[in-house]
Amino acid sequence: MDSYFLPHNAHRISREAFREQDPHLRRLAAQPLVFHSPLIETLPTTDPGIYTLGGARQIGKTTLLKQWMAHLLGQGVPPQAITYLTGEVIGDHHSLLRVLQEELAEAPARQRFVLIDEVTNIRGWDRALKFLADAGALESTVLLATGSDLTMVAEARRLLPGRRGAAAAPDYHLYPLTHLETCQLKHALPPAAETALAQGDVVALDALGEAEWSAIETSFEEYLLHGGFLTAINDLAAVGHLRPATLATYSDWIRGDALKHGKSEAYLREVLGAILARTGSQITWNSLATELSIDHPQTVADYVQLLVAMDAMVVQPALVEDRRTAAPKKARKVGFADPFIAHAVRSWLQPSPDPNATIRARLADSQVQATLAETCAVTHARRHFPIYYIKAKGEVDLAIVTGDRFWPIEVKWTQQLRPADLKQIRVYPHGVIAARTRHSHRLGDIPVLTLPLVLSCLGRGIWPPTP
């Protein structure tokens, strides 16, 4: 094995050496809170093929790979059958082909696992994999490639047709932690409250006392601060605030990847600033272009699409109700994929001597909380459902599609529900209001549920909640 890769393959020495010497597992063990993603149990173990794992930078993909390696070792996979490679030090498909041929020749033929981290850093990576697949060299190999550019998944489908293996779902996505996962990781809730949220049980949630509800509300307000990014969550657990270096790491990632794609930093700042100011509002590329120094609406669209591909932003189109598809000519809503990303971007665009004080001051504003809460509902839902908003005579914040139905959801993380804000949701007999309420109730004919319960259901692909 090339010496570049040896520090990441200490499992070849022993399982103990892997746990003690691997740089990612060492850092993981030093954290106050260690998360074991449920993806570890679903990643392929028997079906050979080419698989992908996408997700934002710094979301924990590399750590997940190392945890999966430890899991495979625990399942009895021979150490020599597992190879970890990083695309950071492989220049092009020629180098990748050479490395893979060497590793496959040395690994046991019965079942092999090859993990290529950040494969999109390798020029022409698909050409090497296509060559090996066509040559039959991957017939006994589970090859998992990760990338921080989500277009990698589409490219794998397009560039490697018929070479992905027999698995029904060869593509995986690592998201930030949901609100419920964060609560479970932090042990932030009394058992009865955690169980009610985890089961999506409206009746059990209604039976909770004041202390349990207060814990749920506090946990969600903390989620609006650290989001689902483990580094930020561990910052709060270790030192009680977000480290400035953590905020800078995430904003530097966005800036660095944009520059790598040939984008202008000045334009990037303008687009990010415009999205920050308009999160939760309807926008068009034309309207943004007229307000910015960017000349052409397509340029604005290109920047947003890049940020979406980086898993930093989410675009929510308007819904064509009778067809349950996007309305191409209507305005869109654009937001950040996690509250923490929004804080990191704002800290870069609007530097402060004390970024934590600035963030907490903003979160004390009820309107800021309400906007972030709506974004959380959208980002939790997008993990499992096509997402839209509804624009008719009024507006509905979120509509998800399941089968041949759409479900309207109005999000109101405020103390009072104003009738003027609910006129459109009243149109739909199957609409739901997700609100800052302790008890479920009905507003006329519309069910009103507590937002954390709605997030728990949406984040696990369950809808509607248990009555």
Domain check: are 380 and 302 in the same one?
yes
pLDDT for the residue 344 = 97
pLDDT for the residue 416 = 80
- Burial class of residue 349 (count of CB atoms within 10 Å of its CB; 0-12, 13-18, 19+): middle
Joined tokens for residue 245: 């270096």
pLDDT for the residue 3 = 79
Domain check: are 263 and 138 in the same one?
no
Instruction: Check residues 385 and 329 and name the one with the higher pLDDT.
Output: 385
Domain check: are 169 and 188 in the same one?
no
What is the distance in angstroms between the CA of the first residue and the CA of the last residue of the chain?
Answer: 57
Could you give the 3-state DSSP secondary structure of residue 220?
Answer: helix
Is 328 part of a structural domain of the chain? yes
Position 1 pLDDT exceeds 90: no
Position 163 pLDDT exceeds 80: no
Domain check: are 224 and 206 in the same one?
yes
Domain check: are 154 and 206 in the same one?
no
Instruction: Check residues 279 and 151 and name the one with the higher pLDDT.
Output: 279
Domain check: are 299 and 249 in the same one?
yes
Domain check: are 78 and 123 in the same one?
yes
Check if the beta carbon of residue 47 is closer than 8 Å to that of residue 128: no
Domain check: are 375 and 298 in the same one?
yes
pLDDT for the residue 155 = 76
Work out the mean pLDDT of the chain and round it to a whole number: 93
Is 140 part of a structural domain of the chain? yes
E strands, 258-323, in order: 282-283, 313-316, 319-320
Could you give the 3-state DSSP secondary structure of residue 236?
Answer: helix
**pLDDT exceeding 90 applies to what percent of the chain?**
84
Q: Give the CATH number, domain containing residue 59.
A: 3.40.50.300
Is 467 part of a structural domain of the chain? no
* pLDDT tens column, 225-277: 999 999 999 999 999 999 999 999 999 999 999 999 999 999 999 999 999 99
Antiparallel, parallel or unpaired: β 332-336 and 171-173: unpaired
Tell which of 116, 147, 173 closes a domain: 173
Domain check: are 147 and 203 in the same one?
no
Average pLDDT over every residue of 296-325: 96
Is 465 part of a structural domain of the chain? no
Quote the pTM value: 0.94
Tell which of 132, 151, 173 closes a domain: 173
Gap between the Cα atoms of 238 and 241, Å rounded? 8
Gap between the Cα atoms of 287 and 329, Å rounded? 13
Position 467 pLDDT exceeds 70: no
Q: Buried b vs exposed e over 385-409: b needs ≥16 C-beta within 10 Å?
A: bbbbbbbeeebbbbbbeeeeebbbb
Average pLDDT over every residue of 283-305: 94
Q: Which residues pair with 434 in a beta bridge?
A: 411, 449
163: closest CA among 82, 46, 81, 51?
51
Is 360 part of a structural domain of the chain? yes
Under the banding of pLDDT at 50, 70 and 90, the label for residue 398 is very high
Domain check: are 158 and 276 in the same one?
no
pLDDT for the residue 169 = 78
Domain check: are 336 and 354 in the same one?
yes
Joined tokens for residue 181: 């996962």
Task: State whether the Cα torsion 423-426-432-438 is positive or negative.
Answer: positive
Average pLDDT over every residue of 329-350: 96
Is 312 part of a structural domain of the chain? yes
Domain check: are 319 and 444 in the same one?
yes
Could you give the 3-state DSSP secondary structure of residue 108?
Answer: coil
* pLDDT tens column, 164-175: 776 767 889 999
Give Cα separations from 313 to 157, 184, 231, 335, 340 (angstroms): 23, 26, 19, 6, 12
Which residues, including other chains, have CB under 8 Å from residue 134's CB and lie 6 or more apart? 163
| 181-184-186-190 Cα dihedral, nearest 10 degrees | 140
Is 466 part of a structural domain of the chain? no
E strands, 130-226, in order: 141-147, 171-173
Position 27 pLDDT exceeds 90: yes
Instruction: Check residues 108 and 34 and name the one with the higher pLDDT.
Output: 34
Position 152 pLDDT exceeds 80: no
Average pLDDT over every residue of 218-227: 97
pLDDT for the residue 46 = 86
The residue range of the domain holding 42 is 3-173
Cis peptide before 464 (omega within 30 of 0): yes
- State how many domains the chain has: 2
Tell which of 173, 190, 205 closes a domain: 173
Is 311 part of a structural domain of the chain? yes
Query: Number of helices (H) and strands (E), helices first, in the chain?
Result: 20, 16
Number of Cβ atoms within 10 Å of the Cβ of 194: 20
Q: Buried b vs exposed e over 35-72: b needs ≥16 C-beta within 10 Å?
A: bebebeeebbeeebbbbbbbbbbbbbbbbbbbbbbbeb
Q: Which residues pair with 408 in a beta bridge?
A: 399
